[in-house]
């Protein structure tokens, strides 16, 4: 468990969970999911003293559930936001032991970048002067933002892109924004992998056999699309709830409330970019498969057209050979010394004439030329 005291111009990390609120600023209490499960009684007691209330049992269950989709809920004393992250890492899959680090990698298909995307949820409980976050085990979001927060203390606001957060809600939105931007950092590699598959699918001399990975990629992209939809719905509910907030001193007054709305809309816009990118990749994968089968169908049509034209060339030759192979006693040229050469000449003439005719009609040419 890590506890940070954030106040104007400075950030400090305390050794343990305090039982009293500091006179200025607010507290950020960050703990792992397994740790919160074991210590939630102590955390609840601290929240009762510092926030005036405890988390209801349903919200505690939501924070402990590592399979919960992104959603937003609230009470008269605090707000709850569960947000599934899209970041590089291994997802937690052990429901019996929430927060336990996975010792073995889960075998999943698709591009390597999709196999590395962790969609574990992060829970936020926003009080007036306390922010409680519940993270999965080994959460890079917690480590990265805590380091950034400690580094930005005392630095000019413009140098760190907005300075220190002014309220627990502001801090929550900044962490959520970093979680969303974590996927935007992965999109270039994911786009490159899918573009490589498209090139293989459309290459005329390549026999594509990686169908299982492509199918897994489409399933993973569809799953990411659903996650992004849940994220967008949760942020929209949060924005609607902000409309009913009072411009109190805990959030910086009217200006602080307006900044929260602006930052919330900015996070929502980032989620929209992720949704657009995921859907575009999903559509590109589907289009590449359709174009692959269309190209295969065109190649098959070319082959069948060529075989049909060759069959049409040899049909008259078979007819001539069949006529002269009849068991009649009197057949023209059958006893003539030049009969064989007349028959061969006529067969060559017919074959060449039909070949030239079919070539000019492009029956013997590939459609790609």
State the CB neighbour count (10 A cutoff) for residue 161: 9
Query: Looking at 4-18, 81-95, 260-274, 323-337, which range is the least confident one?
Result: 81-95
For residue 221, what pLDDT is reported? Answer: 76
The CA R_g of the chain, rounded to the nearest whole Å, is 35
Residues 356 and 278 in one domain: no
Q: Which residues is 3 bridged to in the sheet? A: 14, 29
For residue 120, tell me if it sits in a domain: yes
CA separation (Å) from 274 to 95, 103, 111, 228, 281? 28, 30, 18, 7, 11
349, burial (CB in 10 Å: exposed 0-12, middle 13-18, buried 19+): exposed
CB-CB contact of 114 with 86 (8 Å): no
Cα 228–229–231 angle (5° rounding)? Answer: 60
| Joined tokens for residue 279 | 């859907």
> Which among 294, 321, 338 is the end of a domain?
294
How far apart CA 19 and CA 22 sit, in angstroms, is: 10
For residue 366, tell me if it sits in a domain: no
Cα 68–71–75 angle (5° rounding)? Answer: 115
For residue 211, tell me if it sits in a domain: yes
- CATH of residue 201: 3.30.460.20
For residue 369, tell me if it sits in a domain: no
With cut-offs at 50, 70 and 90, classify the pLDDT of residue 1. Answer: confident
Residues 116 and 152 in one domain: yes
More confident residue, 289 or 349: 349
With cut-offs at 50, 70 and 90, classify the pLDDT of residue 126. Answer: very high
For residue 368, tell me if it sits in a domain: no
Instruction: State how many domains the chain has.
Output: 2
For residue 337, tell me if it sits in a domain: yes
φ, ψ of residue 81 in degrees (nearest 5): -130, 125
Total residue count of the chain as it appears in this document? 369
Residues 146 and 9 in one domain: yes
Outline where DSSP puts E strands in the chain: 2-7, 10-14, 26-32, 71-74, 79-84, 87-88, 117-118, 121-126, 130-135
Residues 22 and 165 in one domain: yes
CB-CB contact of 116 with 108 (8 Å): no
> Which among 276, 294, 312 is the end of a domain?
294
**What is the average pLDDT across 227-237?**
88
For residue 11, what pLDDT is reported? Answer: 87
For residue 361, what pLDDT is reported? Answer: 78
φ, ψ of residue 129 in degrees (nearest 5): -135, 20
How far apart CA 16 and CA 119 sit, in angstroms, is: 29
| Joined tokens for residue 224 | 């990411």
Question: What are 284-300's pLDDT values in tens digits?
Answer: 777 777 777 777 777 78
For residue 332, what pLDDT is reported? Answer: 79
Residues 181 and 277 in one domain: yes
For residue 367, tell me if it sits in a domain: no
For residue 162, what pLDDT is reported? Answer: 54
Cα 285–289–294 angle (5° rounding)? Answer: 145
Residues 333 and 197 in one domain: no
Residues 327 and 193 in one domain: no
> Which among 294, 328, 349 is the end of a domain?
294
Residues 212 and 84 in one domain: yes
Cα 203–204–206 angle (5° rounding)? Answer: 65
| Residue 236 reports pLDDT greater than 50 | yes
CA quadruple 361, 365, 367, 368: dihedral positive or negative? negative
How far apart CA 315 and CA 358 sit, in angstroms, is: 14
Residues 335 and 240 in one domain: no
Structural domain containing residue 350:
301-360
Residues 214 and 169 in one domain: yes
For residue 128, tell me if it sits in a domain: yes
State the CB neighbour count (10 A cutoff) for residue 26: 24
Residues 98 and 21 in one domain: yes
Residues 79 and 133 in one domain: yes
Across 88-92, 136-140, 197-201, 209-213, the highest mean pLDDT is recorded for 136-140
CB-CB contact of 48 with 206 (8 Å): no
φ, ψ of residue 16 in degrees (nearest 5): -140, 180
């Amino acid at each position: 468990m890590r506890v940070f005291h954030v106040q104007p111009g400075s950030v400090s990390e305390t050794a343990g969970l305090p039982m009293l609120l500091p006179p200025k600023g607010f507290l950020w209490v960050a703990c792992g999911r397994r740790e919160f499960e074991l210590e939630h009684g102590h955390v609840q007691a601290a929240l009762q003293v510092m926030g005036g209330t405890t988390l209801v049992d349903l919200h505690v269950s939501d924070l402990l559930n590592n399979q919960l989709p992104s959603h937003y809920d609230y009470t008269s004393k605090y707000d709850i936001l569960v947000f599934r992250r899209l970041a590089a890492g291994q997802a937690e899959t052990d429901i019996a032991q929430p927060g336990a680090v996975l010792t073995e990698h889960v075998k999943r298909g698709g591009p390597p970048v999709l196999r590395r995307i962790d969609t574990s949820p992060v829970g936020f409980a926003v009080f007036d002067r306390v922010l409680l976050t519940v993270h999965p085990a080994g959460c890079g979001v917690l480590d990265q933002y805590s380091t950034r927060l400690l580094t930005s203390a005392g630095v000019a606001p413009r140098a760190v892109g907005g300075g220190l957060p002014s309220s627990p809600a502001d801090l929550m939105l900044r962490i959520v924004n970093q979680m969303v931007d974590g996927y935007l950092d992965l999109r270039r590699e994911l786009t490159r992998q899918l573009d490589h598959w498209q090139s293989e699918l459309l290459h005329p001399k390549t026999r594509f056999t990686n169908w299982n990975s492509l199918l897994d990629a489409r399933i993973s992209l569809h799953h990411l699309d659903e996650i992004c939809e849940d994220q967008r719905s949760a942020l929209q509910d949060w924005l609607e709830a902000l409309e009913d907030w009072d411009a109190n001193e805990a959030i910086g007054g009217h200006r602080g409330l307006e900044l929260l709305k602006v930052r919330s809309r900015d996070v929502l816009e980032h989620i929209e970019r992720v949704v657009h990118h995921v859907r575009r990749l999903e559509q590109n994968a589907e289009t590449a498969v359709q174009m692959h089968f269309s190209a295969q169908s065109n190649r098959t049509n070319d082959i069948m057209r060529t075989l049909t034209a060759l069959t049409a060339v040899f049909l008259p030759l078979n007819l001539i050979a069949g006529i002269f192979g009849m068991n009649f006693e009197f057949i023209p040229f059958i006893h003539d010394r030049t009969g064989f050469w007349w028959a061969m000449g006529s067969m060559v003439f017919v074959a060449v004439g039909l070949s030239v005719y079919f070539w000019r009609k492009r029956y013997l040419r590939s459609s790609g030329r």
